[in-house]
Amino acid sequence: MSLKNIDLTKILQSKIIVSYPFVYDKSKVQQLDTKNIIKLKNEMLKDFLPYTKNFFGKYHLQDDNPLTITFPMICNSNFTRSIDFVKDNKITQKIDINNIKLYFFEKSIAILTIEYAIPQNISNKEFLYYHQKLSTIEKRSKQNIRISCEKDFKYYFEFINSIISNYVAETNNIFCRSNLYTYSLIVANATEQDKQIQNFIEPLLQYRNSLDEISITQSYIAFVQQVPNIYTIANENVVVHIGIKQKSCNNNFIDNEFFNKYQNNHFLTYLITLFQATKIEQLIIKAFLQEDKNKDLKNIRFIKSEILHFIANGDFTKISNNSIRNNLYKFYRKKFEIKDMLQEIKTVSEELKNELENIIEDKKAQTDKIRNFIIGVVGIILAIIQTYQAF
């Protein structure tokens, strides 16, 4: 069955998980109440280790007691359970929030994830509208929302920021952008007919509303199909798993295990890739921002050290012996263009090395100049003293 020949006119069940990377303040995070730390089961990590051992560090596994603040870690957020898009006639009901989690990784990067429960049995157009509203936090957009039972409404970006405000660093947050990263799980009825799936897939991948125009031909929709009737499509901002229900197929897995398997077992695979991409972006931005400041040897050395640490410990070409997880990771890695980003960060690292050498040479030259000046002055003084003694 070809993906382009599937009719997805009805979305039976779906979830949208938005992910928001940000820079956190370690001192603030270390003050967290350990009761909110999520204990992970060993079986959730066994497929990743030892490939990502240096990356994962010490996780809060189920048997760990007592809990301590270590990185990386996952925390529950005791926040609102629903939001209501007011002043929007196309969204007529509140959107339930299943859970809110914060993933704190080592070296300053955190990822907020919010899982939204989308109404069942909706059309393609309705789902795309929900997707568009939830995956954009443009400050100028009229996304007025009301949180739970609050009387006042606020913008959607204020809702996002209110969740992370207790953890962010005081410095400007480089990930305050107009779009979020979205991870969608969709179950749909389908018939094997040519029904222009491009009309659904292409808008789904057009993040930031219509700001980024892309064109996908029906013959070139990149996807991964590892389980019968389940497709994964992606670009650098959107990942969607689509479970297709057909009369001629066994739908037990889609009915009973699809959401659990892909959300609980494979979502972490996606977050690893997202962490890599955002960490590289942060390091590149740090390096370029340094050019606008005074040449500070200590700061440049610190950034250089961070880059080398990431290259040594944060880059993987394989994360698991589980074929589905590893193939999904390779697919995400390609869509995020991690290979090209790594080449860029290595170039930046080399430039920082040259910058360090130049600064050291300049400082040495300046030191030599001062030393020679002092020697010259001392020589003159000694000559004057000798002349004075001669008389």
Q: Which pLDDT tens digit goes with each residue over 219-269?
A: 566 788 877 788 899 888 899 999 888 776 768 888 888 888 888 778 988
* Residue 390 counted as domain residue: yes
381/183 Cα distance (integer angstroms): 76
Q: Does some domain include residue 54?
A: no
Q: How far apart are CA 309 and CA 106, in angstroms?
A: 11
Clarify whether residues 20 and 165 are in a common domain.
yes
The domain total for the chain is: 2
- In this prediction, residues 129-139 reach a mean pLDDT of 81
| % of residues, the chain, pLDDT over 70 | 70
Please check whether residue 48 lies inside any domain of the structure. no
Six token digits for residue 6: 């599937």
Joined together, the tokens standing for residue 125 give 């157009």
Interval 325-337: pLDDT, tens: 899 999 999 988 8
Indicate if 234 and 275 belong to the same structural domain. Answer: no
Give 182's pLDDT tier (boundaries 50, 70, 90): very high
- The reply to whether 286 falls in a domain is yes
Q: How distant, in Å, are the alpha carbons of 12, 19, 120, 144 from that of 100?
A: 23, 10, 21, 20
Same domain flag for 209 and 324: no
Q: The pTM is what?
A: 0.83
Same domain, 312 and 206: no
Same-domain pairing of 236 and 364:
no
The answer to whether residue 59 sits within a structural domain is: no
Q: Which of 203, 222, 256 is the last residue of a domain?
A: 256
> For residue 210, what pLDDT band results from cuts at 50, 70 and 90?
very low
Residue 108: pLDDT above 70?
yes
Whether residues 249 and 295 share a domain: the answer is no
Q: Out of 14-18, 54-58, 83-87, which region has the weakest mean confidence (pLDDT)?
A: 54-58
Question: Domain for residue 243, yes or no?
Answer: yes
Q: Which of 256, 274, 303 is the last residue of a domain?
A: 256
Q: Which two tokens stand for residue 210?
A: 């219509």
Instruction: Indicate whether 102 and 220 sit together in one domain.
Output: yes
Average pLDDT, the chain: 77
Q: Is residue 384 part of a domain?
A: yes
**Mean predicted confidence (pLDDT) in 184-208:** 71
Q: Say if residue 184's pLDDT is above 90.
A: yes
Same-domain status, 96 and 194: yes
Where is pLDDT greater, at 146 or 24? 24
> Do residues 14 and 186 make contact, with C-beta atoms less than 8 angstroms apart?
yes
Q: Residue 380 sits in which domain range?
A: 266-391
First to last CA, the chain: 109
User: Does 216 score more than 70 pLDDT?
Assistant: no
Q: CA-CA distances (angstroms) from residue 87 to 83, 145, 159?
A: 13, 8, 16
Q: Are residues 337 and 193 in the same domain?
A: no
Report pLDDT for 58: 63
pLDDT score recorded for residue 17: 95
Q: Are residues 8 and 100 in the same domain?
A: yes
Helix (H) or strand (E) holding 300: helix 297-313
Dist. CA 200–CA 191, nearest whole Å: 15
Instruction: Report cis status (omega within 30 of 0) of the bond before 50.
Output: yes
Q: Does residue 305 lie within any of the structural domains?
A: yes
Q: What string of DSSP letters covers 302-368?
A: HHHHHHHHHHHHT--S---S-HHHHHHHHHHHHHTTHHHHHHHHHHHHHHHHHHHHHHHHHHHHHHH
Are 115 and 161 in a shared domain? yes
* 46-55, 178-187, 228-237: range with lowest mean pLDDT: 46-55
Q: Please give the Cα distance from 288 to 225 (Å, whole number).
A: 40
pLDDT value of position 18: 93
21 and 151 part of one domain: yes
Of the residues 256, 287, 320, the one at which a domain ends? 256
